[in-house]
Homo-oligomer: A and B are copies of this chain.
Amino acid sequence: MRMPSAKLTAVTLGVRDLQASARFYEAIGFRRKFRATGDEIVFLDGGGVVLALWDWDKLAQDAVLPGRTPPQSFRGATFAWNCATPAEVDTIFAKAIEVGAGLLRKPERDRLRRLSRIFFRSGRTRLGSRAGARTEGGRLILPE
């Protein structure tokens, strides 16, 4: 079989308080889906990808890795939400702080003239807005 073209279809975050995390992500605009699965796992519409939330220990067990306490140092991945406009970044950022996000970095323009802000809660989400970043139906389109 020829190698199929690769797809990252879902990201699952391990969280300590599933309901609190679900409220947080819903408050900043992620829409809950697939409620039939009940309260054990939370599925959210992330645009081009599914964002799922699950109990930290269960996800660690599922990945066959020791769970331990969530490390306070960098965990190896960041998650971006590229917005259509800087105003959109402002709105989401203010909302995120309002509903309990911990601030990691203040708004700034990086060398790509992108307004980027980072906050932390049950994972690390970066809100970026780049002038001219092409999006199509919620996907970030990269040039070749």
Chain A residues with CB under 8 Å of chain B are: 1, 3-14, 25, 28-31, 33-36, 43-51, 56, 59-60, 62-68, 70-84, 87-88, 91-92, 95, 104-105, 118, 123-124, 126, 135, 138-140, 142-144
Contacts and interface: CB of A to CB of B under 8 A. Distances in A.
19 contacts: A1-B88, A5-B47, A6-B25, A6-B81, A9-B47, A9-B80, A10-B79, A11-B78, A13-B77, A14-B74, A14-B76, A48-B138, A49-B140, A59-B74, A59-B76, A64-B105, A65-B73, A65-B124, A68-B73
A87 B92 CA distance: 41
Contact of A64 (B34, B75, B118): B118
A144 B8 contact: no
Contact of A66 (B29, B31, B74, B123): B74
Nearest to A135: B9
Contact of A65 (B46, B49, B66, B104): B104
B142 A8 contact: no
Contacts of A87: 1
Given A34-B144, A62-B118, A63-B118, 4 more contacts: A7-B47, A14-B76, A62-B78, A77-B123
